[in-house]
Chains A and B, each alone.
Chain A
Amino acid sequence: MASSEISQQQAPIAVELSGIQKVFPNGTRALAPISLSIREGEFVSIIGPSGCGKSTLLRLVAGLATPSAGNIRLSREVRDAAVGFVFQSPTLMPWSNVQANVRLPLDLLHAPRAEADEKVHRALERVGLNEFAHLHPRELSGGMQMRVSIARALVTSPRLLLMDEPFGALDEITRNRLDRDLSALCARERLTVLFVTHSIYEAAFLSSRVLVMSARPGRIFSDVAVDDPTPRIEAFRSGESFIRLAARLSATLATAMHEAA
């Protein structure tokens, strides 16, 4: 465990935020100055009360919004491979089948068809959906639709994956299963992940680091390192370390909300 900590400390920085602020046109201060470094291979969860700016932070890193002040630096490796983004809902094109949905990022980059299809095949394999390539989204369950969405984010072989409460709308059984698969996938491919969630247990299960935010304006209240080895397996959920972590996060979150109020 100590060694994994050291290697993580030494890993190069993938994302660096310095003095990021966001003020919306209506004057709402969504984010107070936030500075933060994320190293390659870290699985960073962000939890916090609703309206604390978690999603805004993610959109800023994705380049979907621009900060009012401060700057965001992505490492070369992260920038060169397109950043993968997974939304709260599956956000699939209902008129296209699974294969075409996953191929979309490559199509937009005008990638050659044969090469693109090969990458789609591999991405679907990674989420275990290859046999459903020709179905349309509405023919799939919510959990499967989310897997398609993840395959689409993976198809460009990103180094950084941004996920905005991806499993929030799913039932607990499906969510636990997807969390397990995601943990295995990220550990195997050493992906850097920024994961927004409103579930303390999901954050505790997945993360190598948890950021607890407080609201109005959003800022990082606490930065908790989790040293347990990845990938996490189901047994981790009943282990002492998980339970202690969840209790600690829960207490921190309560304090963060109390301070804001």
Chain B
Amino acid sequence: MNDRDWLRYAAPLAIGALFLLLWHALVVVNDVPAYIVPSPLLVFKTLVRDWGMLSGSLMVTLEVTGAALLAAVVLGVALSVLFVQNRLIEAGLLPYAVILQVTPLVAIAPLIIIWVDDPRTALVICATVASIFPIITNTTIGLRSVDPGLLDLFHMHGASRTQTLLRLRLPSSAPYFFAGLRVAAALALIGAVVAEFVAGTGGTRSGLAYQILQAGLQLNIPRLFAALILITASGIALFLVVSLLSRLVLRRWHESEVSAEP
């Protein structure tokens, strides 16, 4: 590790520390009341004090996000495979996928929450709707971006449709799929939080969004900040997990994940 590598990690940390310090100083110097802007120290203390309650909510939000992402991956890849089989199927279905994508989640979430009895399932459906589109579009492009020479080779050796799919199209689509998954992971978390906001008291009454809602009503701003921090941290963790997964799968062969010098 040379000086530059070290700086690459140190620079964002230093800026973060500076920001917290400035925030703390401004709150203390101006004597800002905690119900308007709490100091970072107070937020941290609240996070520790309310950990029992907040960690439960964190688990609920993470579960909804995880289930939704899994559903988006399974459904999204299955639909992409279907699209690639036949242009007519794609032409018939893609407009509806687009409609689903362009309709704001906040507008459909209330309906889903009314229609689906189990609030947890309703939230998972909302988050799935929010995150499935990048998986479909990216994987479909990936499944089509096959080396024509390799396609000829498969054809020459009498490869079946299934062999071509499993041995050629799916591996070719992996880099595109992971690019989509990164976007989808963030959208699934946003979807889970937004859906819970929309559901309000009709929801599971237990996720992080519900904590924010409650804390806001009670003017418990330090707890609101603490819940917010947990959502952000979840998003970052999710991004890192997906990046790691992508790296593990692609590092032997794809330019995007291969280190510059072996």
Contacts and interface: CB of A to CB of B under 8 A. Distances in A.
Interface of A: 62-64, 82-83, 85, 87-89, 91, 93-96, 104-105, 107-109, 136-139
B158 A95 contact: no
Contact of A63 (B147, B150, B156, B163): B156
A107 B147 contact: no
Nearest to B254: A94
Interface in B140-166: 147, 149-150, 152-159, 163
Quick one: which of A83, A87, A94 has the most chain B CB within 10 A? Answer: A94
Contacts of B157: 82, 104-105, 108-109
Interface stretch (B11-19, B62-70, B167-175, B196-204): B167-175
Given A91-B150, A95-B253, 13 more contacts: A64-B152, A85-B152, A87-B149, A87-B153, A88-B149, A91-B147, A93-B168, A95-B171, A104-B153, A108-B167, A109-B158, A136-B253, A139-B262
A108 to B, nearest CB: 4
Nearest to B157: A108
B236 interface: no
B150 A93 contact: yes
Contacts of A89: 149
Interface residues of B, number: 21
Contacts of A63: 156
A138 B258 contact: yes
Contacts of A96: 171
A7 B196 CA distance: 84
Q: Is the interface of B mostly helix, strand, loop or mixed?
A: helix
A107 B166 CA distance: 12
B8 interface: no
Interface string B184-209: 00000000000000000000000000
B87 interface: no
B4 interface: no
Contacts of A83: 156
13 contacts: A85-B152, A87-B153, A91-B153, A93-B168, A94-B254, A95-B252, A95-B254, A104-B157, A105-B153, A107-B167, A108-B157, A108-B159, A137-B253
Nearest to A164: B149
Q: Is the interface of A mostly helix, strand, loop or mixed?
A: loop
A64 B158 contact: no
Nearest to A109: B157
A108 B158 contact: yes
Contacts of B171: 93, 95-96
A181 to B, nearest CB: 22
Nearest to B159: A108
Contacts of B252: 95, 136
A85 B158 contact: no
Contacts of B156: 62-64, 82-83, 85
Nearest to A65: B152
A62 B154 CA distance: 12
B155 A95 contact: no
A95 B147 contact: no
A105 B254 CA distance: 23
A91 B172 CA distance: 13
A96 B254 CA distance: 11
Given A64-B155, A108-B163, A109-B158, A91 B253 contact: no
A6 B158 CA distance: 37
B154 A108 contact: yes
6 closest A-B pairs by beta carbon, nearest first, are A91-B149, A94-B253, A108-B157, A87-B149, A95-B171, A95-B253
